[in-house]
Structure 1
């Protein structure tokens, strides 16, 4: 999908494109994908002394890393950690604490590499009806009492003061999560990787990966990388690893950005400029940018279709939450795909001894995908502790094969949409 009318693209100044791969080159590791995972992995490997070549099919940050909602949230897309923890042989708290470590890594990199990415602390999980409020209380109790993660619940008046919308009846405040400009962060990671010695080739999609025994050959249209290890970091846009693709489903989402509202209006809309996400299965999520635009996203489509009237779709959802914005201009609208797994838990592991991968962050990838890159790099240089944990978690292919898996998932999602509708 083209990056057409993206606010993120319009608000950065990209450097000239890195050269396309031509000819035969040699490296210790070839990383495929120039998003959070691939750049993070390449950066760590280069700093560990490995010769790294990174192939990006378009420009760095072209996929979900450069056009997501910008919400950096502790935890996973699922609260059901008992099964993954049991399979991995660790506690649920251990798995949750890894997400806290992921956010800490993001902050460490912002500071170490002076990445100005408009970070703002604060996140609200908002309840729409009474069932949500009960679930929110249970969730907050689990995180506070079992995982020792500080949270605060808001009653109805406090929620209305925090979000200028009558749609929500309660909320949970998480001050350690927050939001950022994702493309600015991607470009900062890219600069750090290049400065550390990573060879980056843009406009260089990998067309095939062939294990030759002593080495691996990664072929592009105009060149080839001969290497010892390969990292798949393409997520929803990975086309050349069919066994991995059966375990994720690309799902489309869309985002719009209003014209600047002004500091006072933005603060009146969302107090303390936190990020907000609701508790429906098909979610709405929104936040204000550093230049006071409302960035409003939602309408996840599990058939991976982008609506023909993208602006109208976003406007309808935005005005339902904020009627006071009826008629407000949308300066930018864009869409993209995220990769989800059946259990909504990241799929991070290795195939054989020399192929590593990370995928399926299911909408929680801003911090986790970069952390996954570090996990893969650590394993390649010899520390497999965290990779071994994730590798033990089972990920099943979506039922139905290539022909029927999308229709089956769409039918299943209708149940959750009706559940959202009727509370």
Structure 2
């Protein structure tokens, strides 16, 4: 068998399951075929298998190959745009309905970890760190907004309070989300895959989908086989090419970079992150970091538009890390990698149906770990006839980027530059 490799990340090196599943080489049938084995696909497949369906997953590379196995590993509640933005743009009803789902993704993850005994270094607590007083005021407003939608697991942190959680003087305060947290994302994906397989599900790796033939039953064609199914869930996100041409015009792959240090002495770990929470700052182009289960600092940030890979990841991220933790100047970097997430113009996920039996969800715009798990449950419910929540997401307008694919990269990069200047100036 040809072995399709993961990226050279810390997560891949410390994966609990390195066994590659078989390639699809025949024509088979299933109730439901899921395209993609990231979190959206795995959550959909697992929730559907729990309902008793015969589900097959086809993956073009490896389980968790894309953003699901490469991200910062942070359980961040809500969406990339919060409920105040949703209410202003889409009305109170949509905001209320999406607000009822905004904190469900992390609960789904914790339920799956508990029910299937998934070993993925789950740790509680996440901090939104404010770099200036304007951002701290925004965190106070976020706390009120989330409470308005029934969520009361937050604590506003002063400049002295935040140092109980983050060993730096960079931040003027922040917001602690006690029900947030962090995980080893690839091991979470692999654990969900194993749970799905225990329920009778089948996953084919190295099986690139080249076409979906629509009809009363859909035929999902790979490069060496096919699946005929009553329903299809397309969950390729930033690594999906050609299968959803219309939706592809309404989204753009963006890259983020991550480095991982050598294992740090225990005293240093306690100095950096005394309560072992994960942290993301409140800038538009944000930094995010946490400790791994074996005591390394995982630090990410930076964004490249149009899925370009930077030539030297360390040169982008190390200065950011040292600005936060100058005491790490002599620490060795063991891993550095990049990966793509999918950005939408409104920075809200895109859900939809094609011909009533092909479902898709994509474009979580940097808030994917929790939102993908919510998406999987909502899709599974919709396929079994409870479509109200799916339709809330599907009803959001999906806009193409101005100028189409040719111009969306420079336009988005210009927008990022504008927000970067706002971050620097604190306005």
TM-score (structure 1 length as normaliser):
0.95
| Distance in structure 1 (CA, Å) of the matches to 2:5 and 2:256 | 14
Moved more, 51-60 or 13-22: 13-22
Among 155, 163, 168, the alignment partner of 1:165 is 168
Question: Counterpart in 1 of 2:196?
Answer: 193
Q: 1:265 to 1:399 in 2, by over 3 A?
A: same
* Pair 1:84–1:217, CA change in 2 (3 A): farther
Aligned residues: 422
C-alpha spacing 1:82/1:4, structure 2 compared with 1 (3 Å): closer
* Greater mean alpha carbon deviation, residues 103-112 or residues 73-82: 73-82
Counterpart of 1:397 in 2: which secondary structure? coil
Matches within 5 A, 1:369-408: 369-408=372-411
The unaligned stretches of length 5 or more in structure 2 are: none
How far apart are the structure 2 equivalents of 1:81 and 1:206? 38
Match of 2:231 in 1: 229
Q: Which residue of 1 aligns with 2:63?
A: 60
Using the TM superposition, give the Cα deviation of residue 192 of structure 1 relative to its aligned residue in structure 2, in angstroms.
Answer: 0.8
1:180 Cα deviation after fit? 0.5
List 4+ stretches of structure 1 deviating above 4 A: none
Deviation of the 1:381 alpha carbon: 1.6
CA contact under 8 A between 1:17 and 1:59: conserved in structure 2? yes
Please tell me whether the aligned partners of residues 46 and 198 of structure 1 are also in contact (alpha carbons under 8 angstroms). Answer: yes
Counterparts of 1:336-351 in structure 2 under 5 Å? Answer: 336-351=339-354
Q: Secondary structure of 1:105's partner?
A: helix
SS of 1:228's equivalent in the other structure is: strand
Contact 1:32 1:230 in 2 (8 A): yes
Structure 1 residues 173, 208: CA separation in 2 closer, same or farther (over 3 Å shift)? same
Farther off after superposition, 2-11 or 122-131:
2-11
Q: How does 1:236-247 map to 2 (within 5 A)?
A: 236-239=238-241, 240-247=243-250
**Partners of 1:85 and 1:207 in 2: how far apart?**
40
Residue 50 (structure 1) shift: 2.0
Q: Which string of whole-angstrom CA distances, capped at 9 and with x for unpartnered residues, describes residues 360-417 of structure 1?
A: 1111111210221111111112111211111111121111112111111111211111
Segments of structure 1 that go 5 or more residues without pairing to the other structure are: none
Match of 1:300 in 2: 303
Give the alignment partner of residue 417 of structure 1, picking from 416, 420, 424. 420
Q: TM-score, normalised by structure 2?
A: 0.94
* Counterparts of 1:314 and 1:145, CA distance in 2: 36
Contact 2:233-2:360 at 8 Å conserved across structures: yes
Tell me which moved more, 332-341 or 141-150: 141-150
Is 1:207–2:210 an aligned residue pair? yes
